[in-house]
Chains A and B, each alone.
Chain A
Amino acid sequence: MTADIPNDVVDDAPLLEVRDLQVEFRTKAGVAQAINGLNFTLHSGETLAILGESGSGKSVTAQTIMGILDMPPGHIAGGEIRYRGEDLLQMPEEQRRKLRGMDISMIFQDALSSLNPVLPVGWQIAEMFRVHLGFNRKDARARAVEMMQKVGIPAAEKRVWDFPHQFSGGMRQRIMIAMAISLDPDVLIADEPTTALDVTVQAQVMSLLQELQMESRMGLILITHDLGVVADVADKIAVMYSGRVMESADVYTIYARTAHPYTKGLLDSIPRIDAEGEKLKAIPGLPPSLTALPPGCPFSPRCEFATELCREERPELREIAPGHRSACHHAEKIHAMSEEAQNEPA
């Protein structure tokens, strides 16, 4: 299906394009707007980090792209998700199923609960080859061992029939990765891949993901709330809040010249080793309920820069510098403040 597209074209054209995506949850308590007009693009070999706190809609985004959102209560109210130009949301389910695991793959936060507890890990990896490529048991098993070696499982040959609970947390996440990349997908979505792991193991898993990405040039969507993880690996960042992108730019721009008060708040809340004795800065308040979003900017109730305009009119995501977008009425002001702070001698 994709073989007839020359390579150079593929590199230019986006691999994945999300346009004005809207997802709702229809519950008894009302309609929760989980995603309200989400836009982003992902190119081959690129890492996009989707950053946000709990309830910002980042995991729903991942599940909607994968097509594994529970519907109902989930409901896609509008927008499109284009994979190599084709809208996934218009695709028949059977065609979409074949894309899953083969072209677009996903790893989950908690590998212990996400792997089937009563099936050997090798079997679970081999299942990818058996179902999608029609391999027989023996060949599929051989490929499963190869994949386990590729992600750095020691004594893979011996451990192929072990069960998930017999592995450590880091090894389990490696197995999850091995399974997700076994068919060499174009897009890998990693939903909080390191949140459940120790810090040292986090770094190992992230560098494994980076290595694998370099090798295969896949596009990586990294969903996380961890600014530290993002800084090391991401090319682009989209900061989400209440189901919207608040700010998007390349990593350097976000860290150095943010143009959104929410991003600024997140960055300021990172504990700093050189700021001894200072109180940790936290963003005051809580995110608004998704069933009752304020009419204006969803961040305005917690924002120190909020004005009357912010409370009444919802700011659109707009480009304030090439490749740098912000959904804030005062983006220019914040942007200038960040610039100034950068230029200050330390």
Chain B
Amino acid sequence: MTRYIIRRLLQFIPVVFISTLIVYALVFAIPGDPIRALAGDRAMSEAVQESLREQYNLNDPFIVQYAKYMWGVFTALDFGTTFQGRPVLDIITQRLPVTLQLAGVTFVVQAIIGVIAGALAAINRDRFLDRLVQVSTVVVVAMPVLVIAFLLQLTFGLNLGWFPISGTGQGLRSFILPAIALGAVSMAMIARLLRSELLDALQSDYVRTATAKGLTRSRVIGRHGMRNSMIPVVTFMGADLATMMSGTILVETIFNLPGLGEQVFSSIQAQEGTVVVGIVTLFVLFFVVINLIVDIIYGLLDPRIRYE
């Protein structure tokens, strides 16, 4: 097991390098001159522009810029500074809690609603509840997140007034609508995945054995059916937690939450390459770490899986 984890950690190195290189290249390729953008309408002397370019390594060839940046990240945890001189790490530590809160609420909401809906659908196969879950999940999956977000804001924010539609002023309540918007598609996927897994399990030999043992129906489903059906669902939820990060860019912007996603969006607009690369690097690290954890949990849930 330890050897497996070490091997997986070693695999992180190329993944992190390649993905950051791609992000760096994309930011590099954004048309326009960031220094001119910084100056805006005001006049800026050539000398100042040149010294700024020198300071931010903008005169170096692309690959040298990238190497200098990565060197800073791994030797001094230096993610660079913004053009205003603020360390990127500072921005990250300030905005991370908002994103983590959003991710946490989203994870809990989609897990609870998705699992309950999926289980109810499977138990009531072909009856009303099942059809309801089937139809509503298709609708949710087919709808763009943008539309879901605006519908939620309009209905529960403006018309009903139950939840705030902007900012983090009301603590956990502020995160409910963004979390539903961010987790809606995954929630539907979880429900559908669990439904089909549980239907399979309920027709399996071991569930028939459990019934023949004289267990109550709820125990047969809860202990024997669900125990097996949840394995792929947990795997999905883990992997989804990692991809959720990119969803925060859109949702945090719509709901005006000062998190990492919103920062990425505004930094792209401001052509603040260092900030974008810094945050996206963090997302990549988050992604690979979560995936490793998911694989380890998978091994714990299913005794037939052994890691060498």
Contacts and interface: CB of A to CB of B under 8 A. Distances in A.
Answer yes or no: do A and B interact.
Answer: yes
B3 interface: no
Contacts of A106: 212
Given A68-B211, A119-B227, A179-B213, A114 B206 contact: yes
A101 B208 CA distance: 12
A42 B71 CA distance: 82
Contacts, number: 70
B108 interface: no
A95 to B, nearest CB: 11
B276 to A, nearest CB: 43
B304 A113 contact: no
Contacts of B301: 118
Interface in A82-112: 97-102, 105-106, 108, 110
Interface stretch (B79-87, B134-142, B214-222, B261-269): B214-222
A101 B304 contact: no
Contacts of A176: 209
Interface in B169-217: 203-206, 208-216
Interface in B206-263: 206, 208-216, 219, 224, 227-228, 231
B233 to A, nearest CB: 14
Nearest to A176: B209
**What is the interface residue range for chain A against chain B?**
20 to 34
Interface of A: 66, 68, 70, 97-102, 105-106, 108, 110, 113-119, 127-128, 131-132, 163, 165, 176, 179
B130 to A, nearest CB: 15
Nearest to B227: A118
Nearest to B207: A116
Contact of A102 (B206, B211, B214, B219): B214
A163 B213 contact: no
B302 interface: yes
A34 to B, nearest CB: 17
B303 interface: yes
A131 B303 contact: no
B214 A118 contact: no
Contact of B206 (A66, A105, A117): A117
Given A98-B214, A102-B214, A128-B213, A118 B205 contact: no
29 contacts: A97-B216, A99-B214, A100-B213, A100-B214, A101-B212, A101-B214, A101-B215, A105-B212, A106-B212, A108-B209, A108-B212, A113-B204, A113-B206, A114-B205, A115-B209, A116-B224, A117-B206, A118-B227, A118-B301, A118-B303, A119-B224, A119-B227, A131-B216, A131-B219, A132-B214, A163-B304, A165-B303, A165-B304, A176-B209
